[in-house]
Structure 1
Amino acid sequence: MEEQKEQIFCLLVKMECRDELFRELVENSEDIFIVADRELKIQYASSSVTKVLGVEIGFLLGKNILDFIESEKLHRWDQSLKKGEDHITDEVIFTDGSNHEVYFDVSVSKLFHEEKAQGLALKLYNVTSQKLREQELIRSNQQLDQVIYKTTHDLKAPVMSALGLVKIAEQASYEEQSLYLGMIKKSLLRLDSFIEEMNNFYRNEKLALHREKIDLENMLSEELDNLKNLYPDRSIDISWNIGGNAELLSDKVRVQTIITNILSNAIKYMDLQKQNPFIKIAAQITEEVCDIQVEDNGIGIAQAYQEKIFDLFFRATDQGQGTGLGLFIVKDTIDRLKGTINVQSKIGEGTIFKISIPNQLYQPIEIE
């Protein structure tokens, strides 16, 4: 069907057809048709412009096509058409009324009058959904490569360490064995932490979103108890304050994942030189949004790294045993919940994470 429409379109352009048949064809199509004159000013745009791009037709009329298409691409089209080709196909990107990129396959033909080229005729077919799927597939494959490499490396290190310590402990005296058992426990806890992060990564990628009531205060209490067991040697003052006038509905597993990773990050990278390390948690829940702020006086994050901390496997410091997965999972999870996260940090002073998650109190979660 699309091939047939393409042939009809090219035929009509060649026949210099501007009658009602042409208009009926293009106005009832979901594709966008654009006609530009010899000066490349847009003289006609089909009504599908409003539906697809969310802008009025008048937004395009009279503008130069170079305002929307790169000059190099346009020059390439011109050279190909001068060689006698009936029409050429390419890809272009437009920005819609919401400032989002929309991807098109475009068919370009010359507009003739008395055997002289009088302009260009473009037919644009929206392929945004396909492009986004392709980009997501490429991203997933790249992440999979990194995850496989990282998993084999980070699983092997603590296992080999524990096995080596077991061998030493077997030959050590009774008094020394308790020391080695503690070291073995530390290696296994590191392994357990990594496996849990990988589990969170997998769940975030695969599980559908759910809408359920969340007791944020109870969730914080449980997560902090778990983290204290994971870091028994780290004494830190943790306080929280939850306010607002509404209950919170969202995906419980994912909200828990966000809180766990943010708090464990704050504990892992506390400043061991400070006498009074702290974590302050403040949350405000309204009918529209849940705002969470987590502040610590830890080692801080260098300004040069603050845009990279959410990248997969990125680590801004060698302190602690982080894998570089935690903050990536946090950002990815918040994106899936249609929320936002911002970071403010200074080396030696501490870090503040500001998180905003839409409250799904009255609306179900949009499953991607």
Structure 2
Amino acid sequence: MKCREELFRELVENSEDIFIVIDRLFHIRYVSSSVTKVLGVEIPSLLGRSILDFVDQQRLLKWTSSLHKSEDHITDEFVFTDGNNHEVYFDVNVTKLFDQNEPQGLVLKLYNITPKKLREQELIRSNQQLDQVIYKTTHDMKAPLMSALGLVKIAEKASFEEQAQYLSLIKKSLQRLDSFIDEMNNFYRNEKLALQRERIDLEKLLSEEVENLKNVYPDRSVSIVWNIAGDVELLSDKVRVQTIVTNILSNAIKYMDLQKQNPFVKIAALITEEVCDIRIEDNGIGIAQAYLDKIFDLFFRATDQGQGTGLGLFIVKDTIERLKGKIEVQSKVGEGTIFRIQIPNQLYHQPVEIE
């Protein structure tokens, strides 16, 4: 028959939780093998080290103080950085270690609550975004609507010749409202729709989007050219790839440099079995260096030129992250901007799931 110590060790070693035993001087004397699986840390690298290397002194004093007040155990929560420099969240249960009725140290039982914490953080982030979106929506929808209504009242009293001018202004206000509604639709669609895995004809997608944008901005003359390399199929979420391309191209047109004689947008794409690499370059007004780390923030606008909502680039980055891709931007005021987007090609992979 197995002795009590063997049974206890077998129970601990087969647990998903991490057990740590520290002596009276707070040195680590035992760590269960689950620490390697959960944190990617080898046991020998921990044995003999002070628990203060991982738990701040104030928190440790709080544990020992509570236990000295005859409490059987206490619970707490803390964050540990794993071997890949990622934060892992734990509920920790702390009890006193006795030997012949004398306290000899502490036993820590760590339960991984990272998935729960990440869901909580995502919920908080979503709620904060929702608050901003509701405020922004009511504000930005009301402005062009009130402008249009005001112009209607003026036009009703104007001469026939003047009414054409007011109708043109009303049209601009309603187009601004329509553009905002489209961006809000993209925002919620990106949040709610499950990710798809479908064949994408990038050449056709670009051709259709460029033609559509020419109709949206008939007064903007911009040369848009593209070149697509690679002889493999691209599989990803078509709607989301379209959203990324449309937002960046739309910005390039809206924020073109009106002082330049030959405004352009150049698109270069390379499709491999692993990734679709897209480079979009323009010679527009550019973005100030101080704003480059903020342009993807919700509702941030780096310039007053045009009537953007500050949603476009936020949606772009959020969409790319959902596709497990990445985006980089280089820009210089007066010279232009380059976006580089990398989207995983799902050619030989299962569809990406929304987190």
- Same fold flag (TM > 0.5): yes
User: Secondary structure in 2 aligned to 1:295?
Assistant: strand
Q: Which amino acid aligns with 2:209?
A: E
Question: 1:253 is matched with which residue?
Answer: 239
**Larger deviation, residues 279-288 vs 59-68:** 59-68
Unaligned runs of 5+ in 1: 1-16
Taking only aligned residues, the RMSD between alpha carbons, in angstroms, comes to: 1.5
Q: Which position in structure 2 is the counterpart of 1:282?
A: 268
Which range moves more in the overlay, 103-112 or 140-149?
103-112
- Find the residue that maps to 1:182 and give its secondary structure: helix
**Matched residue, 1:5:** none
Q: Structure 2 regions of 5+ residues with no counterpart?
A: none
**Aligned equivalents of 1:77, 1:141: Cα separation in 2:** 34
CA distance in 2, matches of 1:245, 1:117: 70
Alignment of 1:1-368 (within 5 A): 19-368=5-354
Aligned AA (1:130): K
CA distance, structure 2, for counterparts of residue 259 and residue 50 of structure 1: 43
Aligned residues: 352
1:20-55, Cα deviation, whole Å (9 max, x unpaired)? 122022112111101122332222111111222233
Q: Distance in 2 between matches of 1:21 and 1:47?
A: 15
User: So what's the TM-score if we normalise by structure 1?
Assistant: 0.92
Q: TM-score, normalised by structure 2?
A: 0.95
How far, CA to CA, are the matches of 1:274 and 1:69 in structure 2? 59
Q: Write the distance in 1 (CA, Å) between the matches of 2:27 and 2:283.
A: 58
Amino acid at match of 1:212: E
Task: Single out whichever of 113-122 and 285-294 deviates more from structure 2.
Answer: 113-122
Q: Deviations over 1:48-101 (max 9, x none)?
A: 112222333223223322222222222222222222222111111122333322
Distance across 2 between alignment mates of 1:31 and 1:228: 59
CA contact (8 A) 1:289 1:359 kept: yes
The whole-number CA distance in structure 1 between the counterparts of 2:59 and 2:289 is 38
SS of equivalent residue, structure 2 residue 221: coil
Q: Equivalents in 1 of 2:110, 2:63: separation in Å?
A: 15
Give secondary structure in 2 for the equivalent of 1:317: coil
The AA in structure 2 aligned to 1:124 is: L
Deviation (angstroms), 1:114: 4.1
Q: Percent identity at matched positions?
A: 78
Counterpart Cα distance in 2 of 1:295 and 1:64:
53
Deviation at 1:18, TM superposition (A): 7.7
